[in-house]
Structure 1
Amino acid sequence: MPFLKANDELHGFTGSAEVFKRNVDALSKNHFVLVPDLRGHGNSDKPKAGYHVARLALDLKNFIDHFQFQEGKISAIGTSLGAAIIWCYCELFSTKAFSRVIFVDQAPLQSYLSDWGPEYGNRGCNSPEALRTMQQTLEKDPKTAHLGTISACLGYRSHPRPGDPTAGSKEWEDDEAFFLEEALKGDGWWYGKLMADHTANDWRYSIVQNFGLRSGSKTQVLVIASSRSGCFPAAGPLKVVDLVNGGSEQVLAKGVNVEWGGHWCYWEQPKMFNELVLDFLT
């Protein structure tokens, strides 16, 4: 293969490859960076089928196969929904393709169960009632739905601090216009169907089975959580570290809780995010 280091970046729900435009230049200095638009998102096709995490995982498999990368030569970054796609891929096809993976602010379970509540799960879409409301808004008033997502995902909006951009400022307005434009490229009905599948999945046991030390996996894991995320409390994404390491002194996974950005920390503070990623990859 001509490329010894391949880096695949998977965006999240209602995003597109464009959300990584502040990261690609830095990461591509030593890596061959691939940033696809997920099915139903960005400039990809908008079918009336395939709104399942498993279908997106198969798309990732086809994507990797197309470039004929050698096993163990790929580093992958999965942000939000992108993390779930990688978990599903590895359940279906094993972790052998990846030398390193980075999961950004995604808990292995969104909805609340008897053993999984607000200390770990999604702050908003965590019940059948919340999902139903979200689906209806995505269909009838998609702009309002996407503005709600933007408010939750940008740390300076969900957890504002002194000196942060404020409503009416150029950064506030530019960010809103950018993310809204990307989100509106998709169909609200399709987004709603995908979120229904996304929230129904519990990846905790799959992560143990496929990434855990006892699985024999050699894939190194970095989890990036945020204390300023409007989507998850940091303990939710960081639970992945415990699931992989299983309490062993040997460490395959490590986690970091950042304060310099929210769910979309890679956009808010790209230099800090890029440095964190490059340090892990090297």
Structure 2
Amino acid sequence: MPFTEANDGIRLHYTTYGLATSLPLILLHGFTGSSAVFSRNVQSLSKNHYVIVLDLRGHGDSGKPRAGYHVSRLAMDLKNLIDHLKLPEGQISAIGTSLGAAILWCYAELFTTAAFRKLIFVDQAPLQNYMSDWGPEHGNRGCNSSEALAAIQHTLETDPRTAHLGTISACLGYRSYPQLGDPEEGSKIWQDDEAFFLQVAINGDGRWYGKLMADHTALDWRDSIVQSFGPGSRSKTQVLVVASTRSGCFPAAGPLKVVELINSGNGEDLAEGVAVEWGGHWCYWEQPDKFNKLVLDFLG
């Protein structure tokens, strides 16, 4: 298994698919996930791209230090990986799902968007907590206040299985907003998905996860997105925002606000958005063929 070492000495695990001579495409998973969550996507996406899938620190097979539970640290890890692989500036595409989107926003703030040709942000609002100008029509449905965060942190430390089952229920569209014909409780798909995501999540430390979520929920990326991608930024990076009408994490208007932030007054319309109904927060897992087509059409 290939590893690289971050600048603080922590080992980062990654896997690659496709030809190294193809345009690079980085996949970034979300909170409590791992590179394994893209197992249904890499074969299709790597036909014409050099796909690189990273295990975020604290997740998967990457190092699990006691510290480093900050989005900015994860963005630096991404920079270390890009430098390690010597990926060509301006030719990289990346998909950030959930927390992965925030990592890309942080990367852009720290290092500009110059590295990236195209970016895809999947079902992540630029702010999770409710504020005077940001309420339930945009923010996170569950973790949106200091009280909610404290409860989640406590459960992650004392009863991680219950915490992860809650995440699974919110992130799979057929559980958060079931429709006729969806997998039912007790079905093989229901059981298999639960077992898979539990196995992935339980590999991390609950205290570390809780600290990371505290940092993640506290960050307001709205002004940063405008500065990095919007009017006057000189960014040429094209952006696709994917939201879900069946996400148990965000109302679709939250993630789609990113499109407005980037395009407002820009005149170039570098960002486009789509709200899908064929999956939830983890739509790439639930309907991989539809998600892969959406990605490949955008990447061209």
2:163 alignment counterpart:
145
Letter in 1 for 2:258: V
Does 2:287 align with 1:277? no
Does residue 250 in structure 1 map to residue 262 in structure 2? no
Q: Determine the structure 2 residue equivalent to 1:55.
A: 73
Measure, in 2, the Cα distance between the counterparts of 1:254 and 1:39.
30
SS at match of 1:215: coil
Is 1:96 matched up with 2:107?
no
What secondary structure sits across from 1:35 in the alignment?
strand
Matched, 1:163 2:178: no
Displacement of 1:69: 1.1
Q: Which residue in the other structure is 2:138 paired with?
A: 120
In the alignment, the residues of structure 2 paired with residue 248 and residue 134 of structure 1 have an alpha-carbon distance, to the nearest angstrom, of: 39
2:191 paired residue number: 173
Q: CA deviation at 1:248?
A: 4.4
Q: Which residue type is aligned with residue 5 of structure 1? A: L
Of residues 219, 230, 234, the one that matches 2:237 is: 219
Match of 1:228 among 246, 260, 265: 246
Q: Distance in 1 between matches of 2:256 and 2:86?
A: 32
Unaligned runs of 5+ in 1: none
> Do the aligned residues in 2 keep the contact of 1:153 with 1:229 (CA within 8 Å)?
yes
1:136 aligns with 2:149: no
Note if 1:237 corresponds to 2:255. yes
Alignment identity in percent? 72
TM-score (ref. length: structure 1): 0.99
The letter for the 1-side match of 2:297 is D
Q: Which residue of 2 aligns with 1:24?
A: 42
Contact 2:20 2:50 in 1 (8 A): no
**Conserved? CA contact 2:230–2:266, under 8 Å:** no
Q: Look up the SS of the partner of 1:214 in the other structure.
A: coil
> What letter corresponds to residue 194 of structure 1 in structure 2?
L
1:64 aligns with 2:82: yes
In 1, are the aligned partners of 2:30 and 2:97 still within 8 Å (CA)? yes
Letter in 2 for 1:228: R
Distance 2:94 2:111 in 1: 15
> Which residue is 1:3 aligned to?
21
Q: How many residues matched? A: 282
Q: What does residue 7 of structure 2 align with? A: none
Q: Does 1:191 align with 2:209?
A: yes
Runs of 4+ in 1 over 6 A off after TM superposition: none
Q: Which moved more, 1:209-218 or 1:110-119?
A: 209-218
Report how far residue 70 of structure 1 moved: 1.4
Please give the per-residue CA displacement for 1:195-228, whole angstroms capped at 9, x wherever unaligned. 0000000000000000113211000000000000
Residue equivalent to 2:9: none
Deviation at 1:4, TM superposition (A): 4.1
Q: Is the contact made by 1:99 and 1:220 (CA closer than 8 Å) also made in structure 2?
A: yes
Residue identity opposite 2:93 in structure 1: S
RMSD: 1.0
Secondary structure at 1:33's aligned position in 2? strand
Gaps of 5+ in 2: 1-18
Structure 2 counterpart of 1:169, which letter?
S
Which one scores higher on RCO, CA 8 angstroms, separation ≥ 6?
1
Checking the alignment, whether the CA contact within 8 Å between 1:213 and 1:252 is kept in structure 2 is no
Relative distance call for 1:2 and 1:188 in structure 2 (3 A) is closer
In structure 1, the residue matched to 2:11 is none
Q: TM-score, normalised by structure 2?
A: 0.93
